[in-house]
């Protein structure tokens, strides 16, 4: 619980960054591209993971639809 609270406090939104960018030190500004690149790759990785899970779920859905159709056809016979 405490870790989640600390992590939440460390998170910074883009709007917050935009409003405070004038008060950042040179060192903070130099580290900003690295942080943004890391965030980009994290989002890209999560997107790829979600797309893979979506593809898997679509296959599962198609399989279930085929099984339902087969059961419907065999119960009519």
Average pLDDT per 10 consecutive residues for the chain, totaling 77 residues: 57 78 86 88 96 96 95 78
User: Given the structure tokens 């939104």, which residue do they identify?
Assistant: 13
Identify whether 22 is part of a domain.
Answer: no
37-49 confidence digits (pLDDT tens): 998 999 999 999 9
Q: Is residue 38 in some structural domain?
A: no
Whether 60 is covered by a domain: the verdict is yes
The pLDDT of residue 44 is: 96
Angle at 17 between CA 11 and CA 21, to 5 degrees: 140
**Residue 24 forms part of a structural domain:** no
Tell me if 14 is assigned to some domain: no
Maximal CA-CA distance, the chain: 78
- Structural domain range at position 74: 51-77
Domain membership of residue 39 (yes or no) is no
Domain count, the chain: 1
pTM higher than the cut 0.75: no
Residue 69 has a pLDDT of: 92
5 found inside a domain:
no
């Amino acid at each position: 619980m405490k870790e989640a609270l600390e992590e939440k406090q460390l998170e910074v939104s883009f709007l917050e960054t935009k409003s405070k960018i004038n008060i950042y030190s040179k060192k903070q500004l130099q580290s900003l591209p690295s942080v943004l690149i890391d965030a980009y790759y994290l989002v890209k990785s999560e997107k790829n993971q979600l797309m893979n899970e979506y593809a898997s779920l679509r296959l599962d859905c198609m399989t279930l639809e085929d099984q339902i159709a087969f059961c419907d056809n065999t119960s009519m016979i």
